[in-house]
């Protein structure tokens, strides 16, 4: 019986689950997993995870003390919850989990470094090796500078919300472990901007990831490329051979149920022979290229705002849950 698309994809590419749902991970058994505030918010509202959420809230309350407001406790609980989900995920996946720094810190290098150290300290305390954790940071100039410092400390980073070649080059020059170019969000921007539909290799998101992959392999950068944010399996098929691809449970299921031949599209040896020019990168070049790339500019801004809004919603949800929990707990006399 021929292999399905998912089985064939695993021959060339590390498959990552783009979900906070443990049951989906157990079903598809990805190598790695990644989460973000939106995914954690969705998972936090599932009945099967209420015990985990409640436990984190109680710990955060104990740490902050009885006089702290519900909102203060909720802020601490988000970071603790992200790590709690990460620890549970690592009971399922053999590789790495990505845990995200607060998107509201995306333009603050020092605050990003501080929160990343706090997150990794919790994993260290749980006895989880750093090779199993990626700190997820937005690909702003400030975020990339934070990642450069963290990588030198042995804290591995996943630079997310990446839309342009200038972001990718800056990340590789900074020595980051992994970048996550957002295929589907690039497609969304071009469809809205041009009114056209795009298929297969014509998809601008596919073209962006292909360009980044070839640039990295051409110039021997160690930074890995993980295509993310897919809208359909056609995009995934065009990126077979990418270092990693992070895929939603719905698209994993579609790949698993599809029988067809899946040729490798991205190949490091082919990239070596391509006529690619190296682009020197500094802050001025980065900012100029970012301003000129309207898609990257728009989608990075929108992405940071979206993740920040998701975080605000999650904190509200946690504060409400905490109030509900404490209203049911008898007050000590």
pLDDT at 330 over 70: no
Mean pLDDT of the chain: 94
The average pLDDT across 21-42 equals 87
Q: Domains in the chain: how many in total?
A: 1
**Is the pLDDT assigned to residue 331 strictly greater than 60?**
no
Q: Across residues 34-41, what is the average pLDDT?
A: 81
Asked if the structure places residue 300 within a domain, the reply is: yes
More confident residue, 289 or 68: 289
Residues annotated as catalytic are 136
The answer to whether the beta carbons of residues 160 and 177 sit under 8 Å apart is no
Name the residue range of residue 231's domain: 5-327
Instruction: Sort 220 into a burial class: Cβ within 10 Å, 0-12 / 13-18 / 19+.
Output: exposed
Q: In percent, how much of the chain has pLDDT > 70?
A: 98
> Do the domain assignments include residue 333?
no
- 333 has a pLDDT exceeding 60: no
State how far Cα 60 lies from the chain centre: 25
Q: Does residue 332 belong to any structural domain of this protein?
A: no
The secondary structure of residue 96, as a DSSP letter, is -
128 domain residue, yes or no: yes
Instruction: Report the distance separating Cα 140 and Cα 143, nearest Å.
Output: 5
Structure tokens, 247: 């895929």
Instruction: Look up residue 325 and give its two tokens.
Output: 């929990």
CATH number at residue 20: 3.20.20.70
Q: What is the pLDDT of residues 172-213, one digit of tens each?
A: 999 999 999 999 999 999 999 999 999 999 999 999 999 999
317: left (phi over 0), alpha (psi -120 to 50) or beta: alpha
pLDDT tens track for 247-290: 999 999 999 999 999 999 999 999 999 999 999 999 999 999 99
Q: Is residue 176 part of a domain?
A: yes
Phi, psi dihedral angles at 197 (to 5 degrees): -105, 155
For residues 188 and 208, the answer to whether their CB atoms sit within 8 Å is: no
Average pLDDT over residues 228-255: 97
119 within domain boundaries: yes
Question: In whole angstroms, how large is the CA radius of gyration of the chain?
Answer: 20
Least confident of 33-42, 115-124, 130-139: 33-42
pLDDT value of position 14: 96
């Amino acid at each position: 019986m021929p292999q399905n698309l998912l089985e064939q994809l695993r021959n060339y590419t590390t498959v990552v689950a783009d979900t906070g749902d443990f049951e989906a991970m157990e079903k598809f058994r990805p190598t790695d997993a990644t989460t973000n505030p939106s995914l954690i918010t969705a998972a936090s509202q599932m009945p099967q995870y209420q015990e985990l959420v409640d436990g984190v809230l109680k710990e955060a309350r104990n740490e902050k003390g009885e006089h702290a407001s519900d909102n203060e406790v909720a802020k601490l609980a988000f970071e603790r919850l992200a790590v709690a989900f990460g620890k549970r995920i690592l009971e399922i996946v053999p590789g790495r989990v990505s845990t995200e720094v607060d998107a509201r810190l995306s333009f603050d290098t020092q605050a990003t470094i501080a929160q990343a150290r706090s997150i990794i300290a919790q994993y260290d305390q749980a006895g989880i090796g750093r090779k199993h954790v990626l700190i997820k940071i937005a690909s702003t100039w400030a975020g990339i500078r934070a990642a450069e410092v963290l990588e030198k400390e042995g804290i591995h980073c996943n630079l997310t919300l990446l839309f342009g070649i200038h972001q990718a080059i800056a990340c590789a020059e900074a020595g980051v472990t992994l970048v996550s170019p957002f295929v589907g969000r690039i497609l969304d921007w071009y469809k809205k901007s041009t009114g056209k539909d795009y298929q297969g290799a014509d998809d601008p998101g596919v073209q962006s990831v292909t360009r980044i992959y070839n640039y990295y392999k051409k110039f021997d950068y160690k930074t890995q490329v993980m295509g993310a944010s897919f809208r359909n399996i056609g995009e995934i098929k065009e990126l077979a051979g990418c270092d990693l691809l992070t895929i939603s449970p719905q698209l994993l299921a579609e790949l698993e149920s599809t029988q067809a031949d899946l040729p490798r599209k991205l190949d490091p040896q082919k990239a070596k022979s391509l006529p690619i020019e190296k682009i020197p990168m500094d802050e001025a070049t980065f900012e100029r290229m970012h301003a000129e790339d309207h898609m990257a500019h728009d989608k990075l801004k929108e992405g940071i705002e979206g993740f920040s809004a998701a975080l605000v919603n999650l904190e509200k949800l946690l504060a409400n849950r905490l109030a509900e929990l404490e209203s049911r707990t008898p007050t000590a006399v």
